[in-house]
Amino acid sequence: MMGRSIVAILCVMLPQPVQAQIDPFVHSVLAAEATPGAAIAIVRSGRPPIIRGYGVRSLETGVPVDAHTLFGLASTTKAFTALGLAILADQGRVSWDVPVRQYLPAFRVSDPAVGRDATLVDLLAHRTGTARGDLIWFANPGAQGRELIALLAGLPQARPFRAGFSYSNLMYAAAGEVICVRSGQDWGSFLRHTILRPLGMTDTVVDRALLPPHGNVAGLHAFDGEKMVAFSGSAGPHNDAAAGGLYSSVSDFARWLQFWVDHGRDDDGRRLVSPNAFQALTTIHMPIADRSPTDDILHDKDAPYGYGLGWFIGEYRGHKVLTHSGGGEGVSTLISWMPDQGIGIAIFMNAQGTLGRLAIRNAVFDEALGKGESDWDAQFRPLLAKHRARLNAVAASSMADRQPQLPASRGLAAYAGLYDGGAFGKIEIVRDRQGLVATIGESRRFRLDHWTGERFRVVMDDPEFSWPLPSLISFQPEGGSAPRRVVFEAAGQSATYDRSSR
């Protein structure tokens, strides 16, 4: 019954060329990247949505993806947090342009001026200049609310305040705490009452700890350098919920997209936010000068580009487009909408770092714009080849750094000890019968394998932390003494830890 209704919807919404090509194209993209499964929602003003599932939820179970399969949204969560604050702004409970410290007296970072002057717009538009600092979460998985805010006091600056784009999940965590303080509810409860329930988003789950056991949830997968592998994610609640903690289905996201395409109205035409608040969310507040290769796939190179409040904003074929991707821990998501065309698309994939979601978005937008001659199936193959070549080059460079494989300068016992990274937590290293074991933060224990010289690989199940770059702990000895400092590198970020006596 569901299959027949989806086909009927597809017939109503799309012209014949897309109807004939959308499924083969998506299957082709999934096959090219060995992505196990995906789900897609496409909405257009005044027409029924398309809701599609492809492939399987997990390589381990083979159960099909459907319209209600839950995927981790990752950073596409950010627009929910920004909208929540817009609702509070309409109610007079927050103001965009007063210092955050007015709501969170403990808010501080290493630069006193940022802690004193940063506003909600600074936090939401990624213009505080703070370092990304995601290793703070990694080392402090139990830190919540005020405890997490206190850790930000050790967050260094990557660039001067308001001088450039500096993406920060941690600033969204702080914004989420403002919602808690000003609404009197926890972040998840506030979203359920003010956004999810009014929009009829009944599938959406506000924290992975609330996911139904053995429920309709997409598994986690990533490429390990040779093949696509399934792995288990970290357990327990997200302490980064406001930055990336929601789980949802494309059935729900059709409603979420419709809200944006309809300029902030629900199904009954009622506004969740005022026109002024909606404009604040969808206006560039921080221009972005340094664009990535994927930015240039999704946006016109010669048009203004920047970040609003929860959205990257640019143009595609001369039309304003708002987009956000999400990724990490075995998922890839992308949501994008074009206001003047009244069209939006959400793409969820159960594999990390997929490029195919970009090609699917562009193919759908091209058809809506009458550019159906654009053959994204053909264009995708060379883009994927170049993308893989870059990753392989990074992996090869890492392996080259290991040659020749130099021995450690000391016996393993010399490396044991406690190392303190301040806001980044502590690393305790002990020697057992098999070698070295590191406890990073509160409870994350990992085997250390010798890499080369004073560097040891941190053995992790999540391929994000092992390919194309391995996670490493590098010891820094001084003369003939035991190492006094270590540097922990993981997923392109690093933190320094000094030896401590407890």
In the chain, where the domains are located: 2-391, 412-500
- Is the predicted pLDDT of residue 2 greater than 70, yes or no? no
pLDDT score, position 15: 42
Cα 239 to Cα 252: distance, rounded to the nearest angstrom:
23
Structure tokens at 111: 């630069």
Residue 238 pLDDT level (bands cut at 50, 70, 90): low
| N-terminal to C-terminal alpha carbon distance within the chain | 63
Backbone φ and ψ of 189, nearest 5°:
-65, -40
Tell me the range of 66-80, 202-216, 396-410, 466-480 where mean pLDDT is highest. 66-80
Tally the residues of the chain.
502
395-448 pLDDT, tens per residue? 999 888 887 789 999 999 999 999 999 889 999 999 999 999 999 987 789 999
- Is the predicted pLDDT of residue 38 greater than 80, yes or no? yes
Q: Is 361 exposed, middle or buried (0-12, 13-18, 19+ CB in 10 A)?
A: buried
- If one counts every other C-beta atom within 10 angstroms of the C-beta of residue 287, the result is 14
**H or E element in which residue 32 lies:** helix 16-33
284-340 pLDDT, tens per residue? 999 999 998 889 999 999 999 999 999 999 999 999 999 999 998 899 999 999 999
343-377 pLDDT, tens per residue? 999 999 999 999 999 999 999 999 999 987 678 88
Structure tokens at 469: 């770059």
Higher pLDDT, 125 or 464: 125
Q: What is the DSSP string of 140-180?
A: -TT--HHHHHHHGGGPPBSS-TTSS----HHHHHHHHHHHH
pLDDT score, position 234: 67
Residue 93 pLDDT level (bands cut at 50, 70, 90): very high
Q: Tell how far CA 215 is from the center of its chain.
A: 23
Mean pLDDT, rounded, of the chain: 91
Q: Give the fold, CATH level 3, of 412-500.
A: Lipocalin (2.40.128)
pLDDT score, position 257: 98
Contacts 24+ apart (CB under 8 A), 235-238: 236/141, 236/142, 236/208, 236/209, 237/144, 237/207, 237/208, 237/209, 238/207, 238/208, 238/209
The yes/no answer on whether domain 2-391 falls in CATH 3.40.50.300 is: no
Contact 55, 35 (CB under 8 A): yes
Cα 289 to Cα 276: distance, rounded to the nearest angstrom:
27
253-285 pLDDT, tens per residue? 999 999 999 999 998 899 999 999 999 999 999
Q: Is 328 left (phi over 0), alpha (psi -120 to 50) or beta?
A: left
pTM for the full predicted model: 0.93
**H or E element in which residue 121 lies:** helix 120-124
